Amino acid sequence: MSIEDRLVALGITLPPPPAPVARFLPAVQAGGLLFLSGLAPLHGAGQPYTGVVGSDYTAEQAQDFARLVGINLLSVAKSSLGSLDRVTRVVKVLGMVNAIPGFTRHPFVIDGCSNLFFEVFGQRGMHARTAMGAGSLPSNIPVEIEAVFEVAPD
């Protein structure tokens, strides 16, 4: 089953990839690796959710945000590669959670993205990961995630 078919079966529609908000590229391919820049969770209007986990949002809501970010990362990867079938492995995920002091559920939050990658890619979606807290994130977003994918040649 192709990854496109898998997305359909999972009921996932990829949105258009978000445009960069500063001077950087959404994705850079170096050899067999695709480096995806950090993204924020976006709502229907394409604007980022804002707020702090632990005061404005629960860990469960933040986990949903992490899933949204994962969907956007897939959109950027597809735009860069032409097809998600070129992804041979999710190598690394770095997730940051804008949380109150004392918040400790960062891994639970970033599981939203990690679980999505496993659903979409199966065992190829298992990856190394860092989940960490931040005292703030750009524009006060609750979650930011970047990823590295291994890709097959064109």
Does 22 fall in a domain? no
Whole-angstrom distance, CA of residue 94 vs CA of residue 114:
10
Burial class (CB in 10 A: 0-12, 13-18, 19+), 153: exposed
> Structure pTM?
0.97
Does 134 fall in a domain? yes
Nearest to 79 by CA among 152, 19, 148, 21: 19
Task: Work out how many domains the chain is built from and give that number.
Answer: 1
- pLDDT tens per residue, range 28-56: 999 999 999 999 999 887 899 999 999 99
Listed in sequence order, the residues at least 6 apart from 138 whose beta carbon sits closer than 8 Å to its beta carbon are 21, 40, 144
Does 19 fall in a domain? no
Instruction: Check residue 21 and give its pLDDT.
Output: 84
- pLDDT tens per residue, range 83-139: 999 999 999 999 999 999 999 999 999 999 999 999 999 999 999 999 999 999 999
